[in-house]
Structure 1
Amino acid sequence: MRLILIALLCLALPGAALAQASPAEQTMMRTVEAEHDRHVALLERMVNQNSGTLNLAGVRAVGEMTRAELEPLGFAVRWVDMSETGRAGHLVATHPGPGRNVLLIGHLDTVFEVDSPFQTFARGEGARATGPGIGDDKGGVVVIVAALRAMQAAGTLADANVTVVLTGDEERVGSPIGIARRDLIEAGRAADYALEFENLAMDDGAEFGTVARRSSTNWTLTATGRTGHSSGVFSEGLGYGAIYETARILDAFRRELPEPNLTYNVGVIAGGTPAAIDAEGFSVTASGKTNIVASTAVARGDLRTLTPEQDERVRGRMLAIVDDHLPHTEAELTFADTGYPPMAPSEGNRALLARLNAVNRDLGLSEMAEFDPARRGAADSGFVAADVDTLGGLGIAGGGAHAEGEWVDLDSLVRQSQRAAVLISRLSLGE
């Protein structure tokens, strides 16, 4: 019966794939196909376990599910507690070998906390399935597991040198960030290659490679001014007040900062006498009257840049705009220390995409062009990209991330796992 199954699977594979892939790689492809139902069931179990970032027990539970998959493959798995950052922790698994070290990056947490109405895995029509975090990033974690199991079946895992880092706070990183990302950064510095398993980049049915991602940093603008009766606004004695100072700054951002691959959103704003923002930076309060010049205004937003050089230049320009105050006003702009650095495009990253496209050709799959980095969010790959050649977006295909109804194409789990198994094997073993 097993021989019949393998024969049928071989018939299902493109002829070009059987001609170009090595015998071990053909075994990987067959193994992924044969274990597809197993991995869909694993994905369902993971999705049905809530692991919102602040559900510390839930994040640890998904980590234990992953431990149970990796330890039988010969990985040494440890849990890195992150209680000092207010988060659950990270799973770090190592499989030493004589090959070059390949770092696999994903995350265990989701944006859907325990109070979200969106909590369960559901099959739709065809290969479509929905669920909280099903693509971002539990589908990516399952791709990693499926690829490593295929490597074991083919015998390529034995000599492969693989490190897996699955963070527990990718969606709401803990603080201080130096501790929260310490283990990931150390793993990146030790690696020869880094592969990140966030969602596969798609556009109109075509699949793309991710060689760059933009940063994500929050900023807070606080303006103050003299308060008094509105009849004196703009006067030499009273000045313009905090709201006009804030409006000046934000409009100058809009007019003076634009350049390629840069965005700077304003997400929340309030002004009055007084105005304030909560410790988390999500909620603002204000009160005032139309005949009182506002004493305080606060705005909060994010900044996304493609390279460290762009980030430094834009921050400097923003600070210069802020410092050009209207009469009798002051303003301060601060940047959060929990931001995500950019995964800047590099020749090394592009070389990794070329290696992936060689895999695609040999497996009879479509080649991938570079995806526009302005259309991708920030990810943990940004913390290692300065130290090691990095390729992102190797996870499952789908859409609607961070929203109720998040979905994936379960058939893509097969393609992505096959690609990953062959790529990891070739990178580590120098093929």
Structure 2
Amino acid sequence: MLTKTALLLLSYCLIPAIAVAEVSIEKKLVNQINNQLDESQDLLEKLVNINSGTLNFAGVKQVGQVLSGKFDSIGFTTEWVEGNGFGRAGHLVASYDSVINPHAPKILMIGHLDTVFAEDDDFQNISVVGKNRLAGPGITDMKGGDVIIFAALQALHNLGLLEQLNIKVVMTGDEESSGRPLEKSKKALVDAAIWADVALGFEDADGDVNTAVTARRGSVGWTLTASGKAAHSSQIFSDAVGYGAIFELARILNGFREQLSNTPLLSFNPGLIAGGTRLSDKGSSTMESFGKRNVVAQTAIVKGGLRAVSPEQLVNTQSAMQQIVVQHLALTNATLSFDEGYPPMQQTQGNVNLLAMYSKVSVDLGYKPVTAVNPRNAGAADISFAADHVAMAIDGLGLMGTGGHTKDEVADMTTFAQNIHKTAILLYRLSLANNQVQKH
């Protein structure tokens, strides 16, 4: 059902022409962004050259300190949320309250400070790799998005337009490897989303500047453990010995494939497996096993991931997987457990309407229309923890490029100014909508 909020925003999106005064202001915003572009790129280079692998707490905090100073300079109140309670460096929260507009929309802007590149990685610095192409650790995922957030807000501030908005910026320090428990590690983000009307995420999504994310699949881990009766292999399949742990594991995995692999927008992947007479689980990514060809396997473990497009799909899939697990082969047993994970960002009419508004901004600026990313091509992200709490949300507004999470991570710098322009104009237009975008 279309809510009043969604209908009002949709009507705003479909206005055929922007008032002349608004066009003039928007041109000034674009000029302001262009004039400060060298400063924005300098900030990007500075941030990329600070290693902030998730477990490099000092580096994550240093990136947060640099950005905190920037937000302080344009009138934000900043806070560092310590991560001691969830085993990570912490998060940066920057807030700005409108003093002139009691009906100003409340907008949450989401970034993250950490990257996948560890402190001792040899991929450490930004470099020029071609015309309008810069390589660097985390340049697109997502220090480029962080700078786009700040640069858009800086331009609004410099033209006296920031006063028409209520803004919270949350830049997490553990997006690439979430702290635990999630209830604590995502609390700052969820609290900001509960406060907000609109959520904007600045990941690079599928790397296409002409797309944005209106839906993301959730992601949870799972562990399947099977056991059997150890015996000489000559007795396998007998009434006294049964099938052993590895055959039980194989039965279950094949059952998952047969029953669930054709479910639209669902994926599940067994990424790590081990089995034998003895097995030692070393953590999320390492297991050691001992076994012999002539001994029936006593134990086997597989670890995998599950991605679903809605809470209902997730629950139904988990139930179906458990039903497959309990149909044990003779003299075997198995258990399936699920970890904490990222919830889905569901497709909503509010998200669709916000994308329409963003696309219109793009077209009005002379760029191409922006369409929705296929949820299958959008991995889990922090906005998933916020989306259910706001009237509308989109993601993928950051710096575009290729090779994310690899040493070939390269930014397309032609998208840098473009997405700062689009962000600033979108925020300005949201400020004109006033209570039309409020969820309460």
TM-score normalised by length of structure 2: 0.91
- 1:403 paired to 2:410: no
Question: What SS does structure 1 have at the residue aligned with 2:388?
Answer: coil
User: Structure 1 residues 200, 172: CA separation in 2 closer, same or farther (over 3 Å shift)?
Assistant: closer
- 1:210 paired to 2:213: yes
Of 300, 308, 313, which residue of structure 2 is paired with 1:310?
Answer: 313
CA distance in 1, matches of 2:255, 2:347: 29
Of 340, 351, 354, which residue of structure 2 is paired with 1:352?
Answer: 354
Question: What SS does structure 2 have at the residue aligned with 1:49?
Answer: coil
Q: Please report how far the alpha carbon of residue 202 of structure 1 lies from its aligned counterpart in structure 2 after TM superposition.
A: 4.0
Q: Please report how far the alpha carbon of residue 19 of structure 1 lies from its aligned counterpart in structure 2 after TM superposition.
A: 7.2
Q: Please report how far the alpha carbon of residue 20 of structure 1 lies from its aligned counterpart in structure 2 after TM superposition.
A: 9.2
Deviation per residue, 1:63-109 (Å, 9 max, x gap): 00101110111100000001121100000011011311000001000
Superposed, 1:29-428 pairs within 5 Å as: 29-97=30-98, 98=101, 99-202=104-207, 207-258=210-261, 259-278=263-282, 280-337=283-340, 339-388=341-390, 389-428=392-431
CA distance in 2, matches of 1:300, 1:22: 54
Aligned amino acid, residue 244 of structure 1: F
Maintained 8 Å contact 2:226/2:333? yes
Q: Show the counterpart of 1:5.
A: none
Structure 1 alignment gaps of length 5 or more: 1-15
What is the identity percentage for the equivalent residue pairs of Structure 1 and Structure 2? Answer: 42
CA distance in 2, matches of 1:274, 1:428: 62
User: Structure 1 residues 20, 308: CA separation in 2 closer, same or farther (over 3 Å shift)?
Assistant: farther
Maintained 8 Å contact 2:206/2:377? no
Deviation per residue, 1:249-289 (Å, 9 max, x gap): 111111111211111011110000112322x3110111111
Residues 70-79 or 151-160, more deviating: 151-160
Superposed, 1:11-30 pairs within 5 Å as: 22-30=23-31
Q: Please report how far the alpha carbon of residue 219 of structure 1 lies from its aligned counterpart in structure 2 after TM superposition.
A: 0.6
CA distance in 1, matches of 2:423, 2:121: 32
Q: Please report how far the alpha carbon of residue 201 of structure 1 lies from its aligned counterpart in structure 2 after TM superposition.
A: 3.4
CA distance in 1, matches of 2:201, 2:84: 25
Q: Please report how far the alpha carbon of residue 425 of structure 1 lies from its aligned counterpart in structure 2 after TM superposition.
A: 2.0
CA distance in 2, matches of 1:249, 1:20: 65
Question: What SS does structure 1 have at the residue aligned with 2:218?
Answer: coil
Q: Please report how far the alpha carbon of residue 32 of structure 1 lies from its aligned counterpart in structure 2 after TM superposition.
A: 1.2
User: Structure 1 residues 143, 18: CA separation in 2 closer, same or farther (over 3 Å shift)?
Assistant: farther
Maintained 8 Å contact 1:208/1:369? yes
User: Structure 1 residues 19, 429: CA separation in 2 closer, same or farther (over 3 Å shift)?
Assistant: closer
Q: Please report how far the alpha carbon of residue 148 of structure 1 lies from its aligned counterpart in structure 2 after TM superposition.
A: 0.5
CA distance in 2, matches of 1:201, 1:425: 26
CA distance in 2, matches of 1:50, 1:85: 21
Q: Please report how far the alpha carbon of residue 409 of structure 1 lies from its aligned counterpart in structure 2 after TM superposition.
A: 1.1
Question: What SS does structure 2 have at the residue aligned with 1:386?
Answer: helix
Structure 2 alignment gaps of length 5 or more: 1-16, 435-440
Aligned amino acid, residue 182 of structure 1: K
Q: Please report how far the alpha carbon of residue 21 of structure 1 lies from its aligned counterpart in structure 2 after TM superposition.
A: 5.4
Maintained 8 Å contact 1:225/1:294? yes
Question: What SS does structure 1 have at the residue aligned with 2:300?
Answer: strand
TM-score normalised by length of structure 1: 0.93
Question: What SS does structure 2 have at the residue aligned with 1:124?
Answer: strand
CA distance in 1, matches of 2:402, 2:380: 16
Question: What SS does structure 2 have at the residue aligned with 1:201?
Answer: coil
Aligned amino acid, residue 45 of structure 1: K
CA distance in 1, matches of 2:141, 2:359: 24
Aligned amino acid, residue 173 of structure 2: G
User: Structure 1 residues 253, 283: CA separation in 2 closer, same or farther (over 3 Å shift)?
Assistant: same
Maintained 8 Å contact 2:108/2:199? yes
Question: What SS does structure 1 have at the residue aligned with 2:167?
Answer: strand
